[in-house]
Amino acid sequence: MTIKVRFAPSPTGYLHVGNARTAIITWLFARKSGGHLLLRIDDTDIERSKAEYETAIEDSLIWMGLQWDEKANQKNRLERYAEQIEKLKNDGKLYPCFETAEELSLKRKSLLSRGQPPIYDRSALELTDRKKEDYIAEGLKPHWRFKLDHEPIKWNDLIRGETKFHGKDQSDPVVIREDGSPLYHLCSVIDDIDFNITHVIRGEDHVSNTATHVQMFEALGAKPPKFAHMSLISDNEGGKLSKRLGSLSIKDLRDDDGLEPMAITSLLARIGTSDPIDAFKEIEPLIESFDFSKFSRSTPKFDPNELLRLNSKIIHKTEFEDINVRLAQMGLQDLDEEFWLAVRSNLERLKDIKEWWKVAKSPIEPVIEDPAFIAEAAALLPDTPWNENTWNEWTSAIKNKTGRKGKQLFMPLRQAITGMSHGPELAGLLLLIGSEKVKKRLSGTKY
């Protein structure tokens, strides 16, 4: 059997961390199993779906290295849906309903106030043909529901294990809107059948949908695929991620936060699994270790600081040849390997390098709190040309002369030379800044 999976975003917003996780997991499973990945754009909601979001979602996927093998848009498949809908109507699987949204909401509230689950009461099934004709003559347009069989529904979920529902505990799902357009449930099932999807991987928020989908597969004469429902990630306080950390789209993590795609992938591939979260530069080990049996059913917490920690670790082990093109794109085409190696271990994000480039190459205001000490130090600067031992020779000489050591010795030098109180190792930085600038700065000149 060839494994085939799909990632099915709705283009009604940017790719969010939660959905990106589904994309990564689906992709990893496809690659691990030698399978095929369909990118399915769920764009039947023409009002909320936007081409711009579709493009942005694809950009985010590509940026994260998650290529798909095939793509389909639901909006191009309406004829096919109509065909299958006709078949289901003829088989008596769909029934027309005329309640308004307000009526339905009242019914729901009244059930809830009596402590009962808000399950649709199927009163539309009681309508006589005459009554339905009258409604239509009055200009009412029906929406259609899928008639669930009131029997047990179960499947062996790849993450949740045996999962059981009962048809009578579910509302018959609305599958066609008043305007005749088909809704997500049916389109999704028809697509999963037509595209030969073998495994449906998605968030736990879809579990009860799956219960109804199982019957739709059967009504359409197909065997349901296998299902894997991941528990949803929450923020650190356990709140729903999307509400509290609203800005967490992949686009923002890239454009605003300047994160590396592999930092995001490293976290999202492993969060909620029994494998340790670590910074991966390449995706291969993540494919290698992937297994649904490692997924936990509890809610994993997403910590943005963890992303930053992984990001730093990835940057710290990135080789110059893997980053020089991006540095050039950032306007740092003159930045060479020596500079990269001297500062990379001080970067949390790649964009931080601009600051160090500025410290080394542009005029900065030296910070000198103890001019007498700095003057003494300046007088002890070794002769040029400088080399990798210069820093040690210089600071040993200052130490001998002044008796200062540790922070008392290094901090004033750092502040005078870089204008900052933190930063990369001065031994390397001294050479990158160069003797001319160092001397001027030690004299208190902005240079």
Q: How far is the CB of 46 from ligand GLU (least distance, A)?
A: 14
The yes or no reply on residue 323 touching ligand GLU (CB under 6 A) is no
**Rounded-to-integer distance, Cα 71 and Cα 444, Å:** 62
**Rounded-to-integer distance, Cα 280 and Cα 394, Å:** 39
- Cα–Cα separations (whole angstroms), residue 268 to 7, 228, 260, 285, 375: 15, 16, 13, 14, 53
The yes or no reply on residue 272 touching ligand GLU (CB under 6 A) is no
Question: By CB under 6 A, which span of 8-16, 240-248, 343-351, 368-376 interacts with ligand GLU?
Answer: 8-16
Question: By CB under 6 A, which span of 2-10, 46-54, 132-140, 279-287 interacts with ligand GLU?
Answer: 2-10
Please name the residue that has the structure tokens 């009554």. Answer: 131
**Rounded-to-integer distance, Cα 37 and Cα 404, Å:** 64
Q: How far is the CB of 40 from ligand GLU (least distance, A)?
A: 8
Binding map of ligand GLU across residues 9-48, x = CB under 6 A, - = no contact = xx-------------------------------x------
**Rounded-to-integer distance, Cα 434 and Cα 384, Å:** 10
What SS3 state is found at 419? Answer: coil
**Rounded-to-integer distance, Cα 254 and Cα 256, Å:** 6
Q: Which of residues 194-223 bind ligand GLU (CB under 6 A)?
A: 202, 206
**Rounded-to-integer distance, Cα 347 and Cα 337, Å:** 15
Question: By CB under 6 A, which span of 6-14, 121-129, 134-142, 162-170 interacts with ligand GLU?
Answer: 6-14
Question: By CB under 6 A, which span of 3-11, 175-183, 273-281, 398-406 interacts with ligand GLU?
Answer: 3-11
Closest CB to ligand GLU among residues 204, 393? 204
Q: How far is the CB of 304 from ligand GLU (least distance, A)?
A: 23
CB 38 within 8 A of CB 68: yes
The yes or no reply on residue 8 touching ligand GLU (CB under 6 A) is yes
Q: Which residues contact 153 (CB under 8 A, 6 or more apart)?
A: 164, 165, 166, 167, 211, 214, 215
Determine which residue in the list 49, 188, 212, 318 makes contact with ligand GLU, applying CB under 6 A. 188
Q: How far is the CB of 191 from ligand GLU (least distance, A)?
A: 9
CB 36 within 8 A of CB 4: yes
Q: Which stretches of the chain bind ligand GLU, using CB under 6 A?
A: 8-10, 42, 188, 202, 206
